[in-house]
Amino acid sequence: MSCESRAIDQLRESGVRLTPQRAMVLEAIYHNDGHLSVDEVHERVQQQSPYVDLSTIYRTVMFLKQQGVIGELRLDGQPVRYEAVRYGKEHHHAVCSTCGAMIEIDSVDMQELSDILTQKYGFAVNLIHLTLTGQCAACQAISP
C-alpha cells in the first residue's frame, strides 16, 4: 500500500472527510517526494485548481498536520516545509548551507553514530528531529 493511501485510510479512520481541497493538498505533498513550503503547495494545487487561495491552502496544511498525515520541518532561516509521512521508514535530513538543497538520510545510516554516542559517551541521542548541515555534492564540486 502506498503511503498516500495509508494517509487517506488514517483520515477515514479518524472520521475526517476527504474534501477535494484536502485531497489536492495531500496529493501535492505526497507526489512530490520533497519538502514543500505552503507557497509551493499552493503553486502545485493551483495547477489543478487555479482559484484556491493561499489562506485555504494554509488552513488545509495545518489541518492535515494536526491529523498526523503530513510532517513539518522547521529549519533556521527557511520557510517551514511539509512532507509526506513515510510510514515505518524513519529518515533524517541534511541541508546544504550553500544552495539549500535537502537530502534524506536513511535512519539505518545514523544508527552507527547513535551506537557510538551511547557506548563511548553514555549519551542516548534523540535522532527524531535531527537535521545535519553541510555542503551538498554539487556545491562542493563548484567551490571545494
Q: How far is CA 64 from CA 3, 7, 101, in A?
A: 14, 10, 25
Indicate the SS3 state at residue 118.
helix
Per DSSP, the residues of 36-97 read EEHHHHHHHHHHH-TT--HHHHHHHHHHHHHTTSEEEE--TTS--EEEE--TT--EEEEEET
| Cβ 71 to Zn ion shortest distance, Å | 7
CB–CB of 24/49 below 8 Å? yes
Contact between 99 and Zn ion by CB under 5 A: the answer reads yes
| Cβ 101 to Zn ion shortest distance, Å | 5
Looking at beta carbons only, is 16 or 105 nearer to Zn ion? 105
Contact between 98 and Zn ion by CB under 5 A: the answer reads yes
Among 3, 23, 94, 96, binds Zn ion (CB under 5 A): 96
Range in contact with Zn ion (rule: CB under 5 A) among 4-12, 23-31, 51-59, 90-98: 90-98
Range in contact with Zn ion (rule: CB under 5 A) among 18-26, 107-115, 117-125, 133-141: 133-141
Contact between 101 and Zn ion by CB under 5 A: the answer reads yes
Q: Which residue has the cell 535512519?
A: 107
Give me the residues that bind Zn ion (CB under 5 A), please.
83, 96, 98-99, 101, 104, 136, 139
